[in-house]
Amino acid sequence: MEEKLNQLKSRLAEVIDLFRVANLLSWDQQTCMPPGGAKERGEQLGTIRRLAHIKLTSDEIGKILDELKPMVAGLDPDSDAARLVKVTNREYEKRTKVPPKLVSELAELAAVAHQAWEQARAENNFPKFQPYLEKVVDLRRRYAACFEPYEHVYDPLLAEYEPGMKTAEVQQIFADLRPQQVALIKEITNRPQVDDSALHQHFDPQKQWDFGLEVITKFGYDWQRGRQDKAAHPFTSNFGIGDVRITTRILPDYVASALFSTMHEAGHGMYEQGIDPSLGRTLLGETFSHALHESQSRMWENLVGRSKPFWQHFYPRLQEYFPTQLGNVPLETFYKGINKVEPSLIRVEADEATYNLHIMLRLELEIALVSGELEVKDLPEAWNSRMHDYLGITPPDNASGVLQDVHWAHGYIGYFSTYALGNLISTQLWERINADIPDLEGQIRQGKFDQLLDWGRQKVHQHGCKFDAQELVKQITGSQIDAAPYMRYLTSKYSEIYGL
């Protein structure tokens, strides 16, 4: 069995290398690449993803898996060997259903669609992006068709980002969450609004950058195995467990944007830096569950970064960076300001109370597009009308509406709901962490994060993708993904801030 496992691993090593190389091509495209490189970059990404696909779906891997399956049947099902065979087999079966040509068409389209989206957003010109998005939807439908029969046409797309999760499951969780969240927002908006004008001043971008670095260095983000760059849409990418990079975006007139995006991406980054190196160059070293990923970024961004103990430690330091802007602003005002709840246009700037509604809107639109109930040309109108229904506001233009996110340009249909699931998981884990580290609040108040990071390393990070989101959440908390802790957290937090 050892020999067969090694045969599998040596083949997977090549596949993982190709995955990592595709990550670098894409990272570079978003941080460094001059515009003239777009066409060839698309071709290169197409070639690399096609080769990875061909290699991962090769008959040799299929044969080795067939030989290994009975061999690992007697092992502990949670052992690395058993999980490696299980996860590899799932990915193998998933990918053998998709023709390589479709994979490379998607990759090549993503490169040119990204450029078109950037232009369309800059010019507030949806029709410029429309033909690309139509192609994306078409290719994603053809992708889903490879998995017929399915319970729901959206299931195969969701499974790309959240293995083991079904559309119906997410719809159920959201159906449970939505009325509670809407009711809370209503309660909040009936209370006097907090004043966050102190956050909206000019803050030197370099100082914003420096303060962000100081914070995430204290978190434990490892600079020997990472770096930070600027990108239009912040993201984290890895080129190995030894090289996990983050990006941020700085707004000169709003201090909260770069700050929380930096903490958010550092959360993603520390997750991937924490994977057990022994899982490297196998599929177990991947992080297929986007909800688990997001639970880590949201934990550092919100449960740590928007908490009062955190700012009891860091606010005096931030005031040193910006004495003119914040020297006379009390901590309490700042704390309320960064936790202001207000229905707004841009998902990535949304507060914790309204965020999930942005996600529900996208999930519903994606399902409508893929199932053919909505045409791309009608998308801006559908977007705007739903924004009005859910959040009570209508985007003044498509740049701050339907064109705000990069995901669809990259072909990522099925992705968004994992953001909301990540929010829910983060608070489920947070309740457990506080039970395991009773002094956590005191530690955060002192700017100490080593026990917290270590908890994440042990319970979540090291496992890579050995366990699906539902499995791992159950393992750690004893319960499935559940909206109740998130609502408890929001209610408690905003009761204090808004005096509910």
Cβ distance to a copy of itself smaller for residue 34 or 192: 34
Contacts of 446 (CB under 8 A, 6+ apart): 313
| Selected catalytic residue, list 265, 272, 301, 352 | 265
Cβ distance to a copy of itself smaller for residue 28 or 134: 28
- Report the C-alpha gap between 453 and 446 in whole angstroms: 15
Residues between 229 and 258 with contacts to a copy of itself, criterion CB under 8 A: 229, 239-243, 245
290 in Cβ contact with 422 (< 8 Å): yes
Q: Does 40 bind a copy of itself (CB under 8 A)?
A: yes
Cβ distance to a copy of itself smaller for residue 47 or 319: 47
Pick the binder of a copy of itself from 101, 191, 202, 227 (CB under 8 A): 227
# residues contacting a copy of itself (CB under 8 A): 39
Pick the binder of a copy of itself from 44, 297, 426, 470 (CB under 8 A): 44
C-alpha to C-alpha distances, 215 to 219, 220, 271, 313, 449, nearest whole angstrom? 6, 9, 17, 11, 11
Pick the binder of a copy of itself from 47, 58, 96, 124 (CB under 8 A): 47
For residue 246, the minimal CB distance to a copy of itself (Å) is 11
Q: Does 17 bind a copy of itself (CB under 8 A)?
A: yes
- Report the C-alpha gap between 94 and 393 in whole angstroms: 40
Judged by CB under 8 A, the stretch of 43-51, 338-346, 351-359, 364-372 that binds a copy of itself is: 43-51
Residue listed under structure tokens 């770096």: 227
If one counts every other C-beta atom within 10 angstroms of the C-beta of residue 122, the result is 12
Pick the binder of a copy of itself from 6, 10, 39, 434 (CB under 8 A): 39
Q: Does 21 bind a copy of itself (CB under 8 A)?
A: yes
Pick the binder of a copy of itself from 10, 32, 332, 500 (CB under 8 A): 32
**What is the per-residue binding string for a copy of itself in 50-79, x denoting contact by CB under 8 A?**
-x----------------------------
For residue 424, the minimal CB distance to a copy of itself (Å) is 32
C-alpha to C-alpha distances, 366 to 345, 362, 416, nearest whole angstrom? 18, 6, 9
Secondary structure class of 230 (helix, strand, coil):
strand
Cβ distance to a copy of itself smaller for residue 36 or 192: 36
Task: Walk across the sheet containing 236-238 and list its strands.
Answer: 228-230, 244-248, 236-238
Q: Does 286 bind a copy of itself (CB under 8 A)?
A: no
> Residue 437 region, left (φ>0) first, then alpha (ψ -120 to 50), else beta?
beta
Cβ distance to a copy of itself smaller for residue 226 or 422: 226
Establish whether 93 is a catalytic residue. Answer: no
Long-range contacts of 467-474 (CB under 8 A, 24+ apart): 467/78, 467/83, 468/163, 468/164, 468/165, 468/289, 469/162, 469/164, 469/165, 469/289, 469/291, 469/292, 469/421, 469/425, 470/164, 470/165, 471/164, 472/289, 472/292, 473/425, 473/428, 473/429
Catalytic residues: 265
Binding residues for a copy of itself (CB under 8 A)? 13-14, 17-18, 20-21, 24-25, 28, 32-41, 43-44, 47-48, 51, 222-227, 229, 239-243, 245, 280-281
